[in-house]
Amino acid sequence: MSMAGTWDNVDDTILGEDDFYDVKDAVSSLTGMWREFGSVLGLGLAAIKDIKAMHPDPVSCLDEVLKRWLKEDYNRNRFPPPSWRQLVCAVQSKSGGKNPALAKKIAPLHPKKEKTSENKFGEKALLSCIRLS
The DSSP 8-state label assigned to residue 109 in this structure reads G
The DSSP 8-state label assigned to residue 18 in this structure reads G
**Contact predicate 48/37, CB 8 Å:** no
Class of residue 100 by CB neighbours under 10 A (exposed 0-12, middle 13-18, buried 19+): middle
What digits encode the pLDDT tens for the residues 61-104? Answer: 999 999 999 999 998 899 999 999 999 999 999 999 999 999 99
Instruction: Collect all residues with Cβ–Cβ distance below 8 Å to 18 and sequence separation of at least 6.
Output: none
The predicted pLDDT at position 122 comes to 55
pTM for the model stands at: 0.83
> What's the rounded Cα separation, in Å, for the pair 90 and 58?
18
